[in-house]
Amino acid sequence: MTAIIALSLFGISNLFLGFWFPRKTIQLVTLLFLVVSMALTVSDWNHELLWFGNMFRTTNTSINFSLIIQLAAFFVVAFSKAFGQDDEHTHPAEYYAIMLFSVVGAILMVSFDHMIVLFVGLEILSVAMYVLTGSDKRNLRSNEAAIKYFLMGSFTTGFLLFGITLVYGATRSFYISNIGTILTTTAPESMPSFLFIGVLLIIVGLLFKVSAAPFHFWTPDVYEGAPTIFTMFMSTIVKTASFAALFQLVSGIFGSLYTVWVLPVYFISMLTLVVGNISAVYQQSVKRMLAFSSISHAGYLILTVSSKQISTTSSILYYSLSYTLATVVAFAVLILVSEYQSARVEKPENFSSFEGLAKNNPGLALCFSISMLSLAGIPLTAGFWGKFFIFSDTFSRNIIYPVILAILMSAVGIYYYFKGIIAVYLKAGEIEKIEVPTLFKMALWACTLGTIILGIYPSLVKSVF
């Protein structure tokens, strides 16, 4: 918990470090900060405590989620090669600071015990993301993405807030535990109907953040427009945090209202799977494909929301971790390749830019392929077990048809993920050896190795979660 305070202070000090130190130092210092905050997070392990006027609860689950978030942030920082080249217009210190702040928001979202904390956390995260999305100031696409994200994000925040007030109106409490008690002790017939509207609106507000269809429209545009490094950030951290919040609400206090939300949630999950996977098939741009892939992964995750198995929490954690590791690598390689190709081809983020990568950059090609395999859910990678756990949890809850659809859709997924592998290995193309900074390379291999290790030996972390 002290991690939040520490991260906020680190963020502020990052701002000042920017006056005196070069980009490289700030990057290393930020990595150090994240390591410290992870250590602080771990120190709360097995202490279930309430903080800040009982508004904030640390449990082992919330700690696991926070750790995944911070790990993702760690890798994003490690992969942040450059935000453009000139220091004057790119403000590295500020970006690192904003990232730290948004991590604070994400942690709030996974450990809230009070609706307002959820809202504040979401806003801290979202506002930071609006800024980061638009950080490539001279790029029109980036500006467009930022304004789109901002417009739609603030719009749905309104829904979330409205939902919270309706729930407050019905229960007269913001405290999660109080709301939970009231919801379980009251008969559904005597509950006011606007309570149900509130519940649905809260769910919708969070579903927007995880980019579930039909609230996904922003995702491809924003992912494509934002600088790749922040797309990486968005697709891992924002997604994990929002999903954790959604999961805690839906499987926790809204669990007794199962009949209210279960059909919409399943409908949304199936729609998300179809839209995400099917749309990805046609994409020419790797970045846009990854955007749709992140939509489809949201679909898989939403499936589990109501499977109240004991193992579900750990399955979701496992899935988030495996997804994070694979996505981070995919984006990292994309950063390198598109940077290399930007001077050479018109659309450096297309699949065609990856052609012939394996010839002179076997390491990059291997990392990219493994991450694609993991995203597609091929055995011996973490992604396979992630999907396996999720499907088996959902299946054991007797939810059959959505699972069948999900399996079919993951077969579709293989098509577009393998497009990347094919481009890398089988297509001819001229890509010279790409220089990769040491830190970048280390992070890349760490993630790839993590994917493999988790794929071979899933109980390594599954038993911790």
Partner 1 sequence: MNYQPQDFLPIFVQLAAALAFIVLVMVLTHALGPKRHSAKKDDSFECGIESIGDARTPISVKYFLVAILFVLFDLEIVFMYPWAVNFKQLAWNGFYEMIVFMGLLLAGFIYVIKKGILTWEK
Partner 2 sequence: MSLLLLIPLLPLIGFAINGLAYPKLSKSIAGIVGTIPPLVAFVISLQLFLNFDGQTQIIQLADWIKVADLSIPFAFQIDALSIMMLLVITGVGTLIHLYSMGYMAHDAGFGKFFSFLNLFIFFMLILVLGANFTVLFIGWEGVGLCSYLLIGFWNQKNSYGDAARKAFIMNRIGDLGFLVGIFLLIQEFGTTDYQTIFSTIKDGTEVGNIGLIAFCLFIGAMGKSAQIPLFTWLPDAMAGPTPVSALIHAATMVTAGIYMVIRANALFELSPEVLHFVGWIGLATALLGAAIGLFQNDIKKVLAYSTVSQLGYMFMGLGASAYTASFFHVMTHAFFKALLFLGAGSVIHAMSDEQDIRKMGGLKSKMPITYLTFLLGTIAISGIPPFAGFFSKDEILAALYHHDFAMWCLAILGSALTSFYMFRVFILTFWGDFRGTEKQAHHLHESPWSMTIPLIILAVFSVGGGLINLPHFAGGNEFLAHWLAPILPEPHEVGEVSFFSLEMGAPLVAAFLPAIFAIYYFGIQKAVPGNDESVQGIQKVIYRKFYIDEIYDFVFVRPIQVLSTFFAQVIDFLVIDLIVEGVGKTVKTASDEIRKAQTGNVGYYIFMMVLSIALILVLTLRSRIL
Residues that bind partner 2 (CB under 8 A): 148, 151-152, 155-156, 159, 193, 196-197, 200-201, 204, 208, 214-215, 217-218, 220-221, 260-261, 263-264, 268, 274-275, 278-283, 412, 415, 457, 459
Among partner 1, partner 2, none, the one that 230 touches (CB under a kind-dependent 5 to 8 A) is none
Q: Residue 25 interacts with partner 1 (CB under 8 A)?
A: no
Of the candidate residues 28, 191, 262, 407, the single one contacting partner 1 (CB under 8 A): 191
The 166-185 site mask, x for binding partner 1 (CB under 8 A), equals ---xxxx---------x---
What b-and-e string marks burial along 204-222, b requiring 16 or more CB atoms within 10 Å of the CB?
A: bbbbbbbbbbebbebbbbb
Nearer to partner 2, 103 or 204 (CB): 204
**Contact positions with partner 1 (CB under 8 A) in 117-176:** 169-172
Nearer to partner 2, 216 or 297 (CB): 216
Nearer to partner 2, 32 or 411 (CB): 411
Nearer to partner 2, 85 or 190 (CB): 190
Tell me the C-alpha distance between 237 and 19, whole Å.
28
Q: Are 205 and 157 in contact (CB under 8 A)?
A: yes
Q: Are 53 and 108 in contact (CB under 8 A)?
A: no
Half-sphere exposure of 308 (CA within 13 A, CB side): 11
Q: Residue 21 interacts with partner 1 (CB under 8 A)?
A: no
Across the chain, which distance is largest between two alpha carbons, in Å? Answer: 69
CB of 194 to partner 1, least distance (A): 6
Among partner 1, partner 2, none, the one that 131 touches (CB under a kind-dependent 5 to 8 A) is none
Q: Is the peptide bond before 437 cis (omega within 30 degrees of 0)?
A: no
Tokens of 14: 């990052």
φ and ψ of 292, to 5 deg: -65, -35
Among partner 2, partner 1, none, the one that 148 touches (CB under a kind-dependent 5 to 8 A) is partner 2
Bridge partners, 49 (sequence order): 58
Nearer to partner 1, 72 or 179 (CB): 179
Tell me the C-alpha distance between 285 and 292, whole Å.
11
Bridge partners, 50 (sequence order): 57
Of the candidate residues 46, 85, 138, 193, the single one contacting partner 1 (CB under 8 A): 193
CB of 195 to partner 1, least distance (A): 9
Q: Residue 82 interacts with partner 1 (CB under 8 A)?
A: no
Which candidate, 134, 130, 115, 140, places its Cα nearest to that of 55? 115
Q: Residue 22 interacts with partner 1 (CB under 8 A)?
A: no
Nearer to partner 2, 52 or 415 (CB): 415
Tell me the C-alpha distance between 23 and 86, whole Å.
10
Among partner 1, partner 2, none, the one that 279 touches (CB under a kind-dependent 5 to 8 A) is partner 2
Close Cβ partners of 165 (under 8 Å, ≥ 6 residues apart): 198
**Contact positions with partner 1 (CB under 8 A) in 438-457:** none
Nearer to partner 2, 140 or 343 (CB): 140
CB of 103 to partner 1, least distance (A): 18
Tell me the C-alpha distance between 249 and 318, whole Å.
19
Please identify which residue in the block is written with the tokens 């699972």.
403
Close Cβ partners of 208 (under 8 Å, ≥ 6 residues apart): 152, 153, 156, 159, 215
Nearer to partner 2, 201 or 335 (CB): 201
Of the candidate residues 186, 256, 311, 392, the single one contacting partner 1 (CB under 8 A): 186
DSSP state of 434: P
φ and ψ of 57, to 5 deg: -125, 130
Nearer to partner 2, 92 or 220 (CB): 220
Q: Are 62 and 320 in contact (CB under 8 A)?
A: no
Which spans of this chain sit near partner 1 (rule: CB under 8 A)? 12, 15-16, 19, 169-172, 182, 186, 190-194
